[in-house]
């Protein structure tokens, strides 16, 4: 394919190539549907969203310029033949802008809803993946832990909120989402502490307790069903083996289940097609 053309269009900056605008719009729409369909937060498509936000900004400027020009020219000379068309163009541009903004807003709100529902889960996930012995995050965390174990009083639920201030890789969340979810959980922990956890014995105050082998941090249910359309020649639906953990060896215990063919629409469990979705978003899409 003409990959050079695409690279060239990237060089021209965002919004330069009309075809890329259409493609980005289709990708955004597909990502929005996927985000609405699955129960976990999907990896944040940072480059795509940056391009979209730039385009929206440019489009708003274009609309403002057009509107200003219509106000300017109206009283000075009555160009009645041109004006209805200008109004039509303005209304088309504004409708298009509103539609795009609706998708972006709905996407962000859906993500926020998932984040607030399982905030502790995502914080723990972020903190566990970014374990770096030299980072200040783990230092301060261990500091707080030694402090809490040493001092007899003042164990508050806030201590169990992982410190993520030094994170560099925040996938699947975006930067602002990460700080939001941390602030949210800190507030929540403070509230719990003030309202009832403060009255509990010290060892029962943590929010990430996993005594008895059961973690009290609840995550999203990955086994819920989704509706997908297969876009590649064929995609296998997997039964995930129990052997592979979060970052363990990939596909050790996977059993191949049903095979979807191109153009098929299936009801499958999200954990079955998740890998196919992650490996390449062209393999299948949610409907």
Restricted to residues 38-77, the positions that interact with another protein (CB under 8 A) are 38-39, 45, 47-48, 51-52, 55-56, 59, 62
Give the residue ranges of DSSP H helices in the chain.
Answer: 3-11, 18-37, 46-76, 83-117, 119-129, 136-150, 175-195, 270-279
What is the per-residue binding string for another protein in 256-275, x denoting contact by CB under 8 A? xxx-x-xxxxxxxx-xx---
Question: Which one of 99-107, 130-138, 166-174, 195-203 is the stretch in contact with another protein (CB under 8 A)?
Answer: 99-107
224's tokens: 């819920």
For position 281 contacting another protein by CB under 8 A, the verdict is yes
Contact characters 139-178, another protein, x per CB under 8 A = ----------------------------------------
Q: With respect to another protein, which residue has the nearer C-beta, 82 or 131?
A: 82
Q: Which is nearer to another protein, 202 or 229 (CB)?
A: 229
Binding mask 234-253 for another protein (x = CB under 8 A): ---xxxxxxx---------x
User: Which one of 64, 109, 149, 176 is in contact with another protein (CB under 8 A)?
Assistant: 109
Tell me the three state secondary structure of residue 171: coil
Helix axes 83-117, 18-37, angle to 10 degrees: 40
Among positions 179-218, residues that touch another protein (CB under 8 A) are: none
List the beta bridge partners of residue 265. Answer: 229
By beta-carbon proximity to another protein, the closer residue of 75 and 212 is 212
Closer Cβ to another protein, 176 or 243, answer by number = 243
**CA–CA distance from 212 to each of 34, 177, 216 (Å)?**
36, 32, 10
**Subset of 126-145 contacting another protein (CB under 8 A):** none
Within 10 angstroms of residue 18's Cβ, the number of other Cβ atoms is 9
Q: C-beta of 144: minimal distance to another protein in Å?
A: 29
How far apart (Å, rounded) are the C-alpha atoms in residues 130 and 61? Answer: 40
Angle at 109 between CA 275 and CA 45, to 5 degrees: 40
Shortest Å, Cβ 53 to another protein: 11
Instruction: Please tell me whether residue 255 binds another protein under the rule CB under 8 A.
Output: yes
Closer residue to another protein, CB minimum distance, 120 or 260 = 260
- Between the alpha carbon of residue 248 and those of residues 4, 18, 71, 226, the distances in Å are 37, 42, 63, 25
Q: Residues in contact with another protein, total (CB under 8 A)?
A: 87
Q: Are 34 and 285 in contact (CB under 8 A)?
A: yes
Q: Are 284 and 273 in contact (CB under 8 A)?
A: yes
Nearest partner of 125 among 221, 218, 212, judged by Cα: 218
By CB under 8 A, is residue 94 in contact with another protein? no
């Amino acid at each position: 394919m003409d990959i050079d053309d695409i690279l060239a269009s990237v060089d021209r900056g965002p919004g330069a190539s009309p075809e890329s605008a259409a493609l980005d719009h289709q990708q955004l729409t597909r990502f929005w549907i996927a985000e609405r369909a699955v129960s976990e937060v999907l990896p944040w498509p940072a480059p795509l969203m940056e391009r979209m936000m730039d385009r929206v900004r440019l489009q708003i400027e274009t609309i403002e310029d057009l509107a200003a020009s219509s106000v300017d020219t109206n009283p000075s000379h009555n160009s009645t033949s041109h004006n209805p068309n200008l109004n039509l163009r303005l209304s088309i541009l504004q409708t298009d802008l509103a539609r795009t903004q609706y998708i972006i807003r709905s996407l962000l709100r859906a993500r926020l809803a998932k984040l607030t529902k399982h905030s502790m889960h995502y914080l723990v996930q972020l903190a566990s993946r970014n374990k770096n012995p030299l980072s200040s995050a783990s230092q301060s965390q261990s500091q707080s832990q030694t402090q809490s174990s040493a001092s007899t009083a003042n164990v508050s639920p806030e201590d169990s909120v992982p410190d993520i201030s030094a994170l560099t890789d925040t996938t699947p969340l975006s930067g602002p989402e990460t700080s939001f979810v941390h602030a949210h959980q800190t507030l929540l922990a403070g509230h719990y502490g003030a309202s009832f956890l403060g009255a509990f014995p010290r060892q029962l105050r943590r929010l990430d307790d996993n005594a008895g082998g059961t973690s009290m941090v609840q995550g999203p249910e990955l086994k819920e069903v989704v509706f997908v359309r297969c876009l590649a020649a064929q995609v296998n639906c997997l039964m995930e083996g129990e052997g592979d953990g979060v970052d363990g060896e990939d596909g050790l215990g996977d059993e191949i289940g049903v095979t979807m063919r191109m153009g098929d629409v299936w009801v499958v469990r999200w954990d079955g097609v998740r890998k196919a979705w992650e490996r390449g978003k062209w393999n299948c899409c949610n409907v």
